[in-house]
Amino acid sequence: MSRKRKNTKRVGSGNRVEDKVSARTIAIEVLNKFNPQRNYAGLILDKLLDKTNERQRATDLVFGSIRNRLAIDTVIGKLCCSPVERIPAKLLNILRVGAYELIYSPSTAEYSIVDEAAQNAKAVAGKKQVGFVNAVLRQITRLIINRQSPVSGENVTRTLPQTPATGCEFAVSFLPNLQTQPTDYLSAVFSLPKWLVADWLADFGFANAWQICLASNRRPSVYIRPNPLKTSTDQLAEKLRKADIDLEVVPDEAMIKIKSPRDVTQLPGFAKGEFTVQDLAAFEAVKILNPQPNWRILDLCAAPGTKTTQLAELTGDKAKILATDFDAERLEKVKENVTRLGINSITVFSYQQIIDRKLTPDRFDCVLLDVPCSNTGVLARRIEVRYRIKQKAIKQLVDLQSELLIAAAESIKPKGKICYSTCSIQKEENSQLVKNFLKQSPGLELKSEKLILPSADGAADHDGGYVAILVRK
């Protein structure tokens, strides 16, 4: 029986209930509804996850298929002589999910991938289309000579990277020449815009650009930040271990890496506010700032409150923190997180209230400015960004970031600090912007800055970002 079809079974009361559907079926349904320019795959997926018992696998199939879409479409189009533009959307998404598993999930049996793809095709199309899907995926399997091969110079034009050391090796070359066309090559194998790859090559060199691209396509790990107001890292780790959660305490960071994929909201301690999900790179900004308990702090771009609550935790809930954001809807998330974590030192204001009450001029010891940005440091998590980001949009973002820096500068006391941070790795939004700002603001000086490039290191993979500490003289 097709896994696409929902089966029924009797329960003790005599009623009939529906079985769950497979992760592949959920992934295909999400892709059918997803438009990278208009909506968010994660929001679509969240509404469908209750239909399957394979929540984590469905998430991986959706996110992996979208992250690697251009590479997958290249395989379908070039190696199977099936231009994707001519394939009906519902069949194409079945092929994308199947090709993703064949290429990027080498431990999954080929026969199960091809068989269920054919069954899903049967559910939405006729016998001829089932034969087409079956033929395309079987052609891919025939052309793959090693689903997990060491990447080397000899096979680089016929291997799609999976990890820093391995990739899926094909029998024929179909990728641009790495030596003569590095931009085209990296763009093709990692499904990234050429202009963005070219920027990284120019700014960071090939070795770093390769690592950034690889990290942008990784399955990102989940890290949690223990709430010291309610527990300790050791206590939380012990509680999670008792619940059979596979984890690793990150040395020197007081963070915990969750190694067994789980719904974090269902982990022990979440409802009681004992931790917050936060990437290692995002954790650095407030850590570098080193806020003090007697400070009066303004978080000007607070939503959803991850760094805001970190400020409160690091100051023992004894600072006076005002939080606001342009986005009133997302500002509600700040309130939710403050309540869940049991924090008393944060007061949430609407942005208009901040303006109306004239709370900002020379009133704060510090302004945390985690500005809206291009998100180029978090492409592995924000999977739609690679299809939406445009060069001209960065110029618009820089203008907004500069305006926010001016507002922050007007809000701090003498000797006060601005913690400027982004989840971008573009120089225009980071060091270059800060340098230009300081030229126009002689009363401020740069105390420190740090750029973190995304990493695919399996032991401690992380996103990218930037932080600068500015001080009023």
In angstroms, the CA 157 to CA 170 distance is 9
DSSP 8-state assignment for residue 172 = S
Q: What is the pTM for the complete model shown?
A: 0.91
> Which tokens in the block code for residue 50?
């209750």
Burial call 189-212: b when 16+ CB within 10 Å, e when fewer = bbbbbeebbbbbbeebeeeebbbb
Within 51-135, strands assigned E span: none
In angstroms, the CA 105 to CA 144 distance is 13
Architecture of the domain delimited by 221-278: 2-Layer Sandwich (3.30)
Strands 364-370 and 8-10: what pairing? unpaired
**Residue found under tokens 């203008």:** 399
With beta carbons less than 8 A apart as the criterion, state whether 393 and 443 touch: no
SS3 (DSSP) at 363: coil
With beta carbons less than 8 A apart as the criterion, state whether 197 and 207 touch: no
Question: 394-450: per-residue pLDDT in tens?
Answer: 999 999 999 999 999 999 999 999 999 999 999 999 999 999 999 999 999 999 999
**Residue found under tokens 């024929």:** 172
SS3 (DSSP) at 338: helix
What pLDDT was estimated at residue 12? 38
In angstroms, the CA 100 to CA 94 distance is 10
Radius of gyration of the CA atoms of the chain, in A: 24
Domain ranges for the chain, please list them: 8-148, 175-219, 221-278, 286-472
Question: 146-191: per-residue pLDDT in tens?
Answer: 999 998 878 899 999 999 889 999 999 999 999 999 999 999 999 9
159-161: strand order across its sheet: 144-150, 166-170, 159-161
With beta carbons less than 8 A apart as the criterion, state whether 367 and 469 touch: no
Mean pLDDT per 10-residue interval, the chain, length 473 residues: 37 50 96 94 94 93 97 94 91 97 96 95 87 95 95 89 93 95 98 98 97 96 96 96 94 88 89 97 96 96 96 98 92 96 95 70 88 97 95 94 94 95 98 97 96 90 97 93
What pLDDT was estimated at residue 14? 41
| CATH class (in words) of the domain with range 286-472 | alpha beta
Angle among Cα 462, 463, 467 to the nearest 5 degrees reads 115
Strands 166-170 and 159-161: what pairing? antiparallel
What pLDDT was estimated at residue 128? 82
With beta carbons less than 8 A apart as the criterion, state whether 284 and 225 touch: no
What pLDDT was estimated at residue 459? 76
Is 8-148 CATH 1.10.940.10?
yes
With beta carbons less than 8 A apart as the criterion, state whether 106 and 162 touch: yes
**DSSP line for 181-203:** -HHHHHHHHHT--HHHHHHHHHH
